[in-house]
């Protein structure tokens, strides 16, 4: 076995043979049990499942970097968290390189097949937009996957090990199986109707046509074989090779089950679309919030600009000195305004001019901040600002006719750090819970429905929409993997799934930690509220129990709990907002790793050397 490395031979403390033996000595069943919070040294991982966190820890112990471990975690999530992760999807990686002290990002967002036109989601028979659920469960929604290219980019720039090595823990778990959790069974229930439409999907996730029993073993030997092939052939096996050919065949000849009642439209992807795919390194967004340097994801995600603009707005107020009602009111009003700007100005910057510097300028933040009325909630939808104009006075936020976009809500976020202090903050997804619902036959992974993150038609007549479909374009994302530096050193790394609520969840955790004096685990556990320029603010039920909620309502804030599936209003889903994962660097090599105590059934935090 060969170790790829930028490190000098003298710094290689681990041999490839040792890595191989350490990684193969990790049977899924023998993994140490993990809590939702851990403190220690030597590296740390927080992810959705204990198997994925343990896979990352195994790679760290074997001498891998945060990039090596991130690929191992992501690949394992493709097995144990299959409805939100995997090589059928895409995502964004933000990475702090301890050697250069720089934050970089990789844009691994899915792209649209070259032959797509702006009418991608219009019904040719009627010229009207397809319904969101119809578009999701179809070949049309499947974007060219970016996850595997992201892994390859990360390993080639920051890794010490080959793809084959870091895929090994995932391969093993896929072969041996893992116990089905109540969360996985519940997620299967929410999707059972559409999964049953596809023979390949029901064979994998509905054993015997039934929901998998909690505690039963779920195996995915097809995915293990796919990972082995990727280990042998590299990412080219997808971006032009036989795995790619299978993906293309699947989106054109949908693997419908006998008796399927849906007639989903096939997709447009061709092999040259896969061969043309790139996951570029992109400069991160940056804002200074009260002396903290907050780095995020630039377009094609709206995460970095919208979290950044909201922070620039809120930096004009002394939140810590306000009553809780006033501080939360300012939080809600800031994102109301920032979402108006996001929807109007942010899309794939290769296709639409995104005024990045203007949106992130403190001056624009001040211009928007002065629209906040401490005594009244604005009426949404409010109009976007003009980031090109000067301060323009301080007239109240204007209402607008603009429709709010439809967006899915499920992905995963995880964080990793290593013994050198490198940090990975990685949000990856197949978009909806269960993606398009289509498993590639004999390959063991679901295809994404990321293209439904486009606006199917312009949000407002006569106003340019930066997020309409086009060949090769990346749909706008909300993913907000974030790294915060203090005095030039990593201080926090965090992120969350949740579609457009990702932005508010990341922001709320930052405010809870920086302004409201909560610890990171408290900030992650705290009840969430998400205002996205809508008449009502989406909240978790526990938020309504906050004594501040009544005061906010007196200011005109309106709240609603959301607990039905975006794909089928008759299906109930947990009313949770986001599933965050975070790291806080405590100094002297100590790191605090924090996951969710209850959302998505609780997540898994671990450190290489726990503090005694």
Comparison of 206 and 571: residue with beta carbon closer to ligand GLU? 571
| Pick from 359, 251, 386: nearest CA to 301 | 359
Collapse the DSSP code of 83 into the 3-class scheme (helix H, G, I; strand E, B; otherwise coil) and give the result.
coil
CB of 367 to ligand GLU, least distance (A): 26
Instruction: Name which position in 139, 304, 384, 408 contacts ligand GLU (CB under 6 A).
Output: 408
Alpha-carbon distances of 514 from 90, 141, 413, 461, 487, rounded to whole Å: 30, 39, 21, 40, 15
User: How many angstroms separate the CA atoms of 92 and 296, rounded?
Assistant: 10
Which secondary structure element, helix H or strand E, spans residue 272, and what is its range?
A: helix 271-275
| Pick from 539, 537, 510: nearest CA to 527 | 539
Comparison of 534 and 609: residue with beta carbon closer to ligand GLU? 534
Stretch touching ligand GLU by CB under 6 A, among 98-106, 275-283, 364-372, 471-479:
471-479
Q: Sign of torsion, CA 226 227 231 236?
A: positive
Comparison of 502 and 529: residue with beta carbon closer to ligand GLU? 502
Comparison of 326 and 530: residue with beta carbon closer to ligand GLU? 530
User: How many angstroms separate the CA atoms of 85 and 155, rounded?
Assistant: 18
Residues annotated within a binding site: 109, 453, 477-478, 499
Instruction: Name which position in 49, 410, 505, 530 contacts ligand GLU (CB under 6 A).
Output: 410
User: How many angstroms separate the CA atoms of 505 and 428, rounded?
Assistant: 16
CB of 347 to ligand GLU, least distance (A): 12
Stretch touching ligand GLU by CB under 6 A, among 19-27, 348-356, 404-412, 439-447:
404-412
User: How many angstroms separate the CA atoms of 75 and 462, rounded?
Assistant: 44
Alpha-carbon distances of 559 from 213, 550, 554, 578, rounded to whole Å: 36, 10, 12, 17
What's 301's DSSP letter? B
Instruction: Name which position in 138, 201, 250, 409 contacts ligand GLU (CB under 6 A).
Output: 409
Q: Are 121 and 479 in contact (CB under 8 A)?
A: no
CB of 502 to ligand GLU, least distance (A): 6
Q: Exposed/middle/buried for 395, CB within 10 Å: 0-12, 13-18, 19+?
A: exposed
Instruction: Name which position in 181, 220, 477, 533 contacts ligand GLU (CB under 6 A).
Output: 477
Residues annotated within a binding site for L-glutamate: 109, 453, 477-478, 499
Comparison of 173 and 503: residue with beta carbon closer to ligand GLU? 503
CB of 573 to ligand GLU, least distance (A): 13
Catalytic amino acids? 411
Instruction: Name which position in 453, 455, 465, 512 contacts ligand GLU (CB under 6 A).
Output: 453
List the x/- string, 493-522, binding to ligand GLU by CB under 6 A: ----xxx--x--------------------
| Pick from 85, 100, 503, 493: nearest CA to 306 | 503
Angle at 136 between CA 132 and CA 141, to 5 degrees: 115
Stretch 42-81 residues interacting with ligand GLU (CB under 6 A): none
Collapse the DSSP code of 555 into the 3-class scheme (helix H, G, I; strand E, B; otherwise coil) and give the result.
coil
Q: Is residue 478 a contact point for ligand GLU (CB under 6 A)? A: yes
Stretch 479-498 residues interacting with ligand GLU (CB under 6 A): 479, 497-498
List the x/- string, 141-160, binding to ligand GLU by CB under 6 A: --------------------
Provide the binding-site residues for ligand GLU, judged by CB under 6 A. Answer: 408-411, 429, 431, 450, 453, 477-479, 497-499, 502
């Amino acid at each position: 076995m060969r170790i790829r490395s930028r490190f000098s031979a003298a710094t290689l403390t681990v041999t490839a043979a040792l890595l191989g033996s350490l990684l193969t000595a990790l049977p899924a069943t023998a993994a140490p049990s993990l809590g939702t919070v851990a403190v220690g040294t030597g590296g740390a991982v927080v992810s959705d499942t204990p198997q994925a966190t343990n896979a990352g820890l195994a790679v760290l112990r074997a001498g891998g970097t945060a990039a090596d471990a991130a690929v191992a975690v992501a690949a394992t999530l493709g097995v144990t968290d299959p409805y939100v992760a995997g090589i059928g999807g895409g995502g964004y990686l933000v990475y702090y390189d301890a050697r250069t002290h720089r934050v970089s990002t990789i844009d691994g967002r899915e792209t649209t097949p070259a032959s797509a036109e702006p009418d991608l989601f219009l019904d040719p028979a009627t010229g009207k937009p397809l319904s969101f659920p119809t578009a999701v469960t179809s070949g049309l929604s499947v974007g060219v996957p970016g996850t595997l290219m992201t892994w390859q980019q990360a390993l080639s720039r920051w890794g010490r090990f080959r793809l084959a090595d870091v895929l090994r823990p995932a391969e093993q778990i896929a072969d041996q199986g893992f116990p089905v959790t109540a969360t996985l069974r519940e997620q299967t229930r929410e999707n059972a109707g559409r999964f049953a439409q596809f023979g390949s999907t029901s064979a994998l996730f509905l054993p015997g046509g039934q929901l998998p029993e909690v505690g039963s073993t779920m195996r995915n030997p097809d995915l293990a074989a796919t990972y082995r092939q990727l280990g042998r052939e590299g990412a080219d096996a997808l971006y032009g090779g036989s795995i790619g050919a299978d993906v293309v065949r699947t989106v054109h000849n949908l693997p419908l089950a006998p008796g399927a009642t849906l007639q989903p439209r096939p997709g447009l992807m061709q092999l040259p679309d896969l061969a043309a795919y790139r996951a570029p390194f992109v400069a991160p967004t940056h804002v200074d919030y009260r002396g903290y340097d907050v780095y995020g994801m630039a377009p094609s995600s709206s995460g970095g600009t919208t979290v950044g603009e909201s922070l620039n707005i809120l930096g004009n107020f002394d939140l810590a000195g306000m009553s809780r009602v006033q501080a939360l009111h300012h939080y809600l009003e800031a994102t109301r305004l920032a979402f108006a700007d996001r929807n109007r100005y942010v899309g794939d910057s290769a296709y639409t001019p995104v005024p990045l510097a203007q949106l992130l300028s403190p001056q624009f933040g001040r211009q928007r901040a002065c629209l906040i009325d401490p005594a009244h909630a604005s009426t949404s939808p409010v109009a976007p600002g003009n980031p090109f104009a000067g301060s323009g006075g301080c007239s109240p936020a204007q209402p607008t006719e603009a429709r709010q976009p439809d967006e899915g809500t499920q992905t995963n976020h995880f964080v990793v750090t290593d013994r050198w202090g490198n940090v990975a903050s990685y949000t990856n997804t197949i978009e909806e819970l269960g993606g398009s619902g289509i498993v590639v036959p004999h390959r063991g992974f679901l295809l994404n429905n990321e293209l439904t993150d486009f606006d199917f038609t312009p949000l407002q007549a006569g106003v340019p929409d930066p997020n309409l479909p086009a060949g090769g374009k990346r749909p706008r994302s909300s993913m907000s993997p974030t790294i915060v530096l203090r005095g030039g050193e990593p201080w926090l790394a965090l992120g969350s799934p949740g579609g457009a609520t990702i932005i508010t969840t990341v922001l709320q955790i930052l405010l809870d930690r920086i302004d409201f004096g909560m610890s990171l685990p408290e900030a992650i556990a705290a009840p969430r509220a998400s205002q996205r320029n809508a008449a009502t603010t989406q909240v978790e039920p526990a938020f309504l129990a906050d004594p501040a909620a009544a005061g906010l309502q007196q200011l005109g804030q309106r709240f609603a709990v959301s607990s039905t599936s975006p794909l089928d209003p008759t299906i109930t889903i947990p009313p949770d907002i986001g599933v965050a994962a975070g790291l806080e660097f405590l100094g002297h090599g100590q790191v605090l790793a924090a996951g969710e105590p209850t959302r998505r059934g609780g997540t898994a935090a671990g450190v290489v050397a726990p503090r005694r």
